[in-house]
Structure 1
């Protein structure tokens, strides 16, 4: 019974159908001169008094002003302990019994291996210039 059902399916299916055929969505093209396509530059604040009392550039709305800065005691304590430099935490600062430590170690190892691989490729091209690809 199953074999005959498969046979009937093969006879009745359209011949142009291919199970791996890909269809792509039509690309949407906007007007080049539209207002949404043009970027606007924000004006840089030069007033020193306003720079000391307001958080310039924090207003995301068309209307309104930038928010005023409050006293340091009005903000939570953890805000002043945030890490602001790039690169993430050092391995010496992390506990080896946590998942964050091992993720960081994996990332640093992958970065090191990538750097070494690039250096070896350059060295190989210098030592064996005939084998280099065009």
Structure 2
């Protein structure tokens, strides 16, 4: 039975014996090759068009960018979306929901990661001889 081991290597296990084989298959380059280049969009500099159109929103080759409508034509929930970074505070969530406990778990794991990173740095400062070996 052959199992993927590493890129280009295969590990074969049969009972107590194992054999590592190297694959010499031809490597395939990136799709599109070296000749493919990203299409660069032109930056709009017309101030009036920037105020009235959503520039860069047109994903088709033909057509133009959509016009920005008045605020009354958009749904009410659009204006209550959270735009700041980070998640909700725990004080805003109800403790009887799964969202509260998921957020609490996420915050706890982030705090534990920060503490363990600081402890590793502190240990390296206090015991520099251990870091060399």
Q: TM-score range with shorter-chain normalisation?
A: 0.7 to 0.9
CA apart distance, 1:68 = 0.4
Consecutive unaligned residues in structure 2, runs of 5 or more: 5-9, 11-22
Specify the alignment match of 1:66 in structure 2.
Answer: 65
Specify the alignment match of 1:5 in structure 2.
Answer: none
Taking the TM superposition and a 5 Å limit, the aligned residue runs for 1:116-127 are 116-127=115-126
TM-score (norm 1): 0.76
Specify the alignment match of 2:100 in structure 1.
Answer: 101
**Over 3 Å off, 4+ runs:** 20-28
Q: Which has the higher helix share?
A: 1
Consecutive unaligned residues in structure 1, runs of 5 or more: 1-18
Q: Which has the higher strand share?
A: 2
Q: Which stretch of structure 1 is more off in the superposition, 104-113 or 25-34?
A: 25-34
Deviations 1:61-80 (A, max 9, x none): 11111000111100100000
- Aligned-residue CA RMSD (Å): 2.0
Taking the TM superposition and a 5 Å limit, the aligned residue runs for 1:106-117 are 106-117=105-116
Deviations 1:59-113 (A, max 9, x none): 0111111000111100100000001111111111111110001000000100000
Q: How many residues align?
A: 113
